[in-house]
Amino acid sequence: MLIISVAIVVLSLVGLWDAFYFTFAYYGRVRKARWVPAILCAREGSNCVTVVQTPYARVFGVPNSLLGIFFYFAVIAWVVLAMWLESGANPARLQLMAVIGGLLMVAAGFAVLLGFYLTYSLIWKLHTHCPLCYTAHMINAVLLALLSIIDWQLVRRISG
């Protein structure tokens, strides 16, 4: 469980960085950032900066990346708490962690489905490519799989 937990935290941190980048781009705070290679769309007027100005950059009126920030923080907190509680938690706490894990899996599933739609929109509607967008979508798909494994292990531990 430790290797999977570490992988989840690392992927969530990369996703968090990506989400912060897009949130800053959405609010106009990314201008010719020299600290990010050009291949990752850091220049003003680039695909990744302009992508956040399209209607596809928002779900429920909120920037997708802002939802990502909350999601990645929640995943990191859940994994850290699950690792901390694993060593001697009572069944009630483990059940609560499994329920929260299930909710995170639902959120990750939503993110993956949305990612398919957004990838379709990038390629077929906007006729552009965004490596950082694709990266975030892949991270969400892998997180869904890893969260499922961890939550399944919790449920199995609860049931004896």
Is the pLDDT higher at 8 or at 29?
8
CA distance 78 to 85: 10
According to the model, what pLDDT value does residue 87 have? Answer: 66
Measured CA distances, 94 to 44, 134, 151 (Å) = 47, 34, 10
Domain CATH code at residue 109: 1.20.1440
pLDDT digits (tens, 9 = 90+) for 42-75: 455 555 667 888 888 898 889 999 999 999 999 9
Is the pLDDT higher at 17 or at 131?
17
pTM: 0.88
CA distance 47 to 40: 9
Q: Provide the residue range defining the domain that includes 19.
A: 2-159
Name the domain count of the chain.
1
